[in-house]
Amino acid sequence: MLAQRFAVVRRASIDLCAGLTEADMTVQSMDDASPLKWHLAHTTWFFETFLLIPCSPNYSPFSADFAFLFNSYYEAAGPRHPRPLRGLLTRPTLPEVLAYRAHVDDAMAFLIEAAQDDATLALIDLGLHHEQQHQELMLTDVLHLFAQNPLRPVYRAANPAQPATAAPVLGDLHDWVAVNGGRFTVGHDGNGFAFDCEGPSHDVLLRDFALAAQPVTNAQWCAFIDDGGYRNPALWLSDGWQTVQREAWEAPLYWERRDDRWWRMTLHGMHPLDAHAPVSHVSYFEADAFARWAGKRLPTEFEWEVAARGTATHGHFADSLWLDPLSGANASAARLRQMFGSVWEWTASPYMSYPGFRPAAGAVGEYNGKFMCGQFVLRGGSCVTPAGHIRATYRNFFYPHQRWQFTGLRLAEDR
């Protein structure tokens, strides 16, 4: 039932803020991140702007100022407060933002009850998936914020960790899954929800290839570090090497060296590095350099999608009590593991439109299409992706230097 789903998704955003202070929810740690209070207001603005104002003639906006404060990047929706300055919004207060959410939720309840046409129902569905995207951002943004604090605060108490499992040796051919090439139809088929950038479906031609059965692990990344991976320019793309030097990268984001041992900042505070868990918080530049060091490559997004077919979209998602990648369960090396959940996996594919792609008319058409330049596609979801919000055709995308998301990699090779 749509009304129940709406209530569950909206409540989940509030639940993510449990235990946080208003200060925690107001501060902005960097330009790419946003305060949690802003996320709560922006997801509400989305429903107000794209559904209530055009579809409910008797609706009265909560505040005339909020359209300016909480628009993100929709040029057609009007001017907006600059993104890098969202952390300066000490007003409205958190109680005012929560009152805004309640005001919009009450109006949406009537709209949902009356909604009959497919266009309105599709917009409501889009708004819910949009909010789930922001729930993932809320977790990654609060992790980045807490990582800047010398006290290394704990966002959530840790659930007892699952036991680590033995990781196969990097490059062991018995831990690779071969896929026969051929002609394949890729992209979303139009049945059920998908973001516009996932279609239209179209044919691609793939050569024989193989994927590593599991994502690259922290232990394997340590070998890359110990072999001078961050000091060898021959491994890096030119822009990547400039970034390594400018940012003084020596390890993935959130790694810290303590007494000759690596530790990581997590949503559960500081923890010793789990050698067998998938490496996370690495950029495309780092993923590409690692693959070159290993004598392999990153898969294309279509190789990843074809290989993922027949794999259930079950995995380690945000409904788990452990908001950090876990090592995979013991399983046959003949099948792919951890394709969904744990970490978003970088692909070698630039984020571009599929043949025949047409963005929707109006401001909502700015949702994905306007970003199809200079970014790379990731697949599979992560440990902070809401359960049920992922599918094999889902295309996430980030700039090649960004690494505050739970991003990792899986190797590929030609066969």
In the listed set 147, 181, 216, which residue is the last one of a domain according to the structure? Answer: 147
> Sorting pLDDT into bands at 50, 70 and 90, what band is 208?
very high
Considering the domain architecture, whether residues 187 and 90 belong to the same structural domain is answered as no
The SS3 of residue 140 is: helix
CATH of the domain at 6: 1.20.120
- State percent of the chain over pLDDT 70: 95
pLDDT above 60 for 168: no
Roughly how many angstroms between the first and final C-alpha of the chain, as a whole number?
Answer: 47
pLDDT above 50 for 164: no
Report, as an integer, the average pLDDT of 92-121.
96
Q: What is the residue-averaged pLDDT of the chain?
A: 94
pLDDT at residue 115, as a whole number: 85
pLDDT at residue 174, as a whole number: 55
Judge whether 73 lies within some domain: yes
CATH of the domain at 318: 3.90.1580.10
Considering the domain architecture, whether residues 255 and 392 belong to the same structural domain is answered as yes
Report, as an integer, the average pLDDT of 101-119.
95
Instruction: State the greatest distance between any 2 C-alpha atoms of the chain, in Å, as a whole number.
Output: 66
Q: By residue range, what is the domain housing residue 345?
A: 173-414
Considering the domain architecture, whether residues 14 and 110 belong to the same structural domain is answered as yes
pLDDT tens-digit map of 290-318: 999 999 999 999 999 999 998 889 899 99
pLDDT tens-digit map of 315-345: 999 998 899 999 875 555 568 999 999 999 9
Q: Give the residue from 18, 37, 17, 15 showing the smallest Cα distance to 26.
A: 37
> Sorting pLDDT into bands at 50, 70 and 90, what band is 172?
low
Identify any residues that bridge with 265 across adjacent strands, giving them in sequence order. Answer: 270
pLDDT at residue 310, as a whole number: 84
- State percent of the chain over pLDDT 90: 89
Considering the domain architecture, whether residues 271 and 363 belong to the same structural domain is answered as yes
pLDDT tens-digit map of 365-407: 899 999 999 999 999 999 999 999 999 999 999 999 999 999 9
Considering the domain architecture, whether residues 142 and 20 belong to the same structural domain is answered as yes
pLDDT above 50 for 166: no
Q: Give the residue from 144, 191, 179 showing the smallest Cα distance to 305.
A: 179
Considering the domain architecture, whether residues 202 and 54 belong to the same structural domain is answered as no
Considering the domain architecture, whether residues 365 and 291 belong to the same structural domain is answered as yes
pTM here is: 0.96
pLDDT above 70 for 209: yes
Q: How many domains would you assign to the chain?
A: 2
In the listed set 106, 131, 147, which residue is the last one of a domain according to the structure? Answer: 147
pLDDT at residue 406, as a whole number: 98
Judge whether 160 lies within some domain: no
Residues 6+ positions from 216 with CB-CB distance below 8 Å = 170, 278, 279, 290, 408, 409, 410, 411
Considering the domain architecture, whether residues 192 and 139 belong to the same structural domain is answered as no
Considering the domain architecture, whether residues 281 and 140 belong to the same structural domain is answered as no
Residues 6+ positions from 352 with CB-CB distance below 8 Å = 372
pLDDT at residue 363, as a whole number: 87
Tell me how far apart the alpha carbons of residues 308 and 302 are, in angstroms, rounded to a whole number: 10
> Sorting pLDDT into bands at 50, 70 and 90, what band is 116?
confident
Considering the domain architecture, whether residues 142 and 206 belong to the same structural domain is answered as no
Higher pLDDT, residue 271 or 160: 271
pLDDT at residue 163, as a whole number: 45
Judge whether 124 lies within some domain: yes
Considering the domain architecture, whether residues 271 and 142 belong to the same structural domain is answered as no
pLDDT at residue 335, as a whole number: 87
Burial class (CB in 10 A: 0-12, 13-18, 19+), 357: middle
> Sorting pLDDT into bands at 50, 70 and 90, what band is 165?
very low
Considering the domain architecture, whether residues 183 and 110 belong to the same structural domain is answered as no
